Structure 1
Amino acid sequence: MKPYKVIDLSKILDPATETRRCKIRRFNTGGPIPDFHTDMDLTTHLGTHVETPYHHNDNWKDVVQLPIEHFLGRCVYLNFTHLAPNSYITADDLEKVCRGRVGKNDVVILDSPHKLPPFTPKTNTAEDKRLFISRETAQWLADIGVKCVGFGDGVSIENSNKDVCAFHDVLMEQDVTFLEVLKNLDQLSEEVFFIAFLPLPIKGIDSSPVRVVAIEGLPGFGA
């Protein structure tokens, strides 16, 4: 892949330690040649996962109703290093950090230096210094026309029901997906790159665990 750089942005899952539903059973189907299969009992919101609009509304699109192009393309990483802990990301903040680099149908990843792994007992405690999103954050992204919003460990999507609901309302109504529990963002050397995160094509699921791959240096996908 040289001169390209490939970064895996996915969380590795271990059924022995995962707190969300993640069980596997390996078995041999028998016969003269070993033929091993594995049953998987998983939640759709496991590890690094993509959430579709069907997650928020029964009448909105599920995983297979969105085109495959929705799950790959140009990505812009926005790291809000200027904001104090537990600040809201405003439209002015987005303009400042974006610097005109985000366009229609881009994927955007929001992050900050105030990191805490999401969906843990430390959420919304004194140790949780992550930045907050709101309806204003969502509306700016919707007006630009992004197709997916990802979250690093520096941004909370759990701070309040009001903010989280508004964020989903505004963006998912426009078929915007969410990419959650991203890892290894510190390994990025570029802020604009190609990204792919393909869900399992199963009818009727609202979300899917994904293997997220960032590729830096692809022609046409830089700043």
Structure 2
Amino acid sequence: MIFREDQIVSLSHSLLDNGKENFPYEVECLGRKDKDWYIECVCKLGSHCGTHVEVPYHHDRHGADVMSYPVQDLIGECVVLNCEGKAPGEAITAEDLKQYADRIRPGDIVFLHTGYDRYFREENWQPYPYVSMDALEFLLSNDIKVLGTDASGVEIVDGYSPTGRMKELYGEPIHVTCFQNHVAIVESLTNLGEIENERTTVFILPVPAEHMDAFPCQIIAVRGL
């Protein structure tokens, strides 16, 4: 199968070795750098660095890690729901999402377009519009299999640190409820506006890494499949 360039949309941020990522990302190049330019690189990589997928092992010592989470459950049809206009720390509610009820199908990957990807790597990358429990219950009632956002997180707000960073509610009920229902979570997506008004096929492909609760990944939307 041959794809046209306009069918493929990358939904992942690049990782930059400039010390500005919000989670650890450091690259060291080893080996020769002479006329042949033969090197090998060693990378220190945080599991939640960049655009990443989170799986049950994040909150359950017996839950599936990134290696054992079924890859088929990270591939499927995707619908993007517009949640723009929310203030930092404001809830995305069931009422916000019910207007899209006729667009959501069982087994869908659902991505929330908040527009907060524009703050990626900025000092004010948090706070973000979070997902309320009633919004999650609405999505789960539609039998979704992945929940994603272009903001830096989905969890319920429980105040702020002195530096202005959000404190996520202790126990992270949005995460736990998702994982108990075999719903993976994707955070820090980008370019969702490019596919907002259509259904696409999305591939979420982390490296199958053992004992990892999350992993950065290249996420691709393909139009017209």
TM-score range, shorter chain: 0.7 to 0.9
| Deviation sequence 1:153-199 (CA, Å, 0-9, x none) | 39754633338812112111112111111112233363321111111
Question: Where does the alignment leave 5 or more consecutive residues of structure 1 unmatched?
Answer: 219-223
Matches for 1:94-173 after TM superposition, within 5 Å = 94-96=97-99, 98-112=100-114, 117=119, 121-122=123-124, 130-153=128-151, 157=155, 159-160=157-158, 161-162=168-169, 165-173=172-180
Matched residue count? 211
Match of 1:8 in 2: 10
The equivalent position to 1:197 in structure 2, one of 204, 214, 220, is 204
Give the Cα–Cα distance (whole angstroms) in 2 for the partners of residues 212 and 169 of structure 1.
Answer: 23
The equivalent position to 1:88 in structure 2, one of 68, 88, 91, is 91
Segment drifting more, 2-11 vs 142-151? 2-11
With normalisation by structure 1, the TM-score equals 0.81
| Deviation sequence 1:56-101 (CA, Å, 0-9, x none) | 22122111222111111101100035x65354322232211x2322
Relative to 1, partners in 2 of residues 1:35 and 1:177: Cα closer, same or farther, differing over 3 Å? same
Question: Where does the alignment leave 5 or more consecutive residues of structure 2 unmatched?
Answer: 159-167
**1:113 positional shift:** 5.0
Relative to 1, partners in 2 of residues 1:84 and 1:3: Cα closer, same or farther, differing over 3 Å? closer
Give the Cα–Cα distance (whole angstroms) in 2 for the partners of residues 37 and 173 of structure 1.
Answer: 40
SS of the equivalent of 1:41 reads strand
CA RMSD, Structure 1 to Structure 2 (Å): 2.9
| Deviation sequence 1:131-159 (CA, Å, 0-9, x none) | 33121122122222211111023975463
1:110 and 1:155 in contact (8 A); partners too: no
SS of the equivalent of 2:169 reads helix
Identity over aligned pairs, percent:
24
With normalisation by structure 2, the TM-score equals 0.80
The equivalent position to 1:206 in structure 2, one of 191, 213, 216, is 213
Q: Going by fraction, where is strand more abundant, 1 or 2?
A: 2
The equivalent position to 1:38 in structure 2, one of 32, 37, 41, is 41
Match of 2:165 in 1: none
Relative to 1, partners in 2 of residues 1:51 and 1:155: Cα closer, same or farther, differing over 3 Å? closer
SS of the equivalent of 2:172 reads helix
